[in-house]
Amino acid sequence: MKIYTFEIIEVNDGVIKSLYTRAILESLPEWFGNSNALDEYVEKVSKLPYWAALDQDYRCIGFFAVKTHYGNIGDIYVCGVLPEYQNKGIGKKIYDIAEKHFIQNGYKYMMVKTLSEKAQYEPYERTRKFFKKIGFVPLVSLTEIWDEENPCLIMIKKL
């Protein structure tokens, strides 16, 4: 069994955040195949709290970018882990740091938006499984956020 060596850092440089985000999301076309949405994520992460996992060669292998709603709800805005590093505990470790950030700042809940199970798309089945495993529960599925073909599932977690 291969052991993966990595460190997680907080990234403050907006240009670096955008570069890391583009590299990871482009490696995940099953999730981020819409180029307009990808470009929007790349642009918006530059101003958000952001953590990246770097391998032994200082290459970004995963990240989480978060934002806030109403001063007490943390939102996982976008995240991703390179395909070859998925299911190795890296996403969980980055998530743990994001959650700690919200707890230390007095937040009460966390949320994440993902594709609803109503869309029946296997890659997002894995995404929902990941978030359920770390304590999120489904709250509501809405077509108003994205569209009828891409119903948005909002999942929440009490901190």
Query: Does 120 share its domain with 76?
Result: no
Query: Does 92 share its domain with 146?
Result: no
Domain range for residue 17? 1-106
Query: Does 89 share its domain with 121?
Result: no
Query: Does 36 share its domain with 26?
Result: yes
For 32-45, how does the pLDDT look when each residue is reduced to its tens digit (9 = 90+)? Answer: 988 999 999 999 99
Q: What is the pTM of this model?
A: 0.93
Q: Which of 21, 96, 110 is nearest to 63 (CA)?
A: 21
Query: Does 117 share its domain with 102?
Result: no
For 103-154, how does the pLDDT look when each residue is reduced to its tens digit (9 = 90+)? Answer: 999 999 999 999 999 888 888 999 999 999 999 999 999 888 888 888 999 9
Q: Give the CATH number of the domain where residue 7 resides.
A: 3.40.630.30
Query: Does 99 share its domain with 123?
Result: no
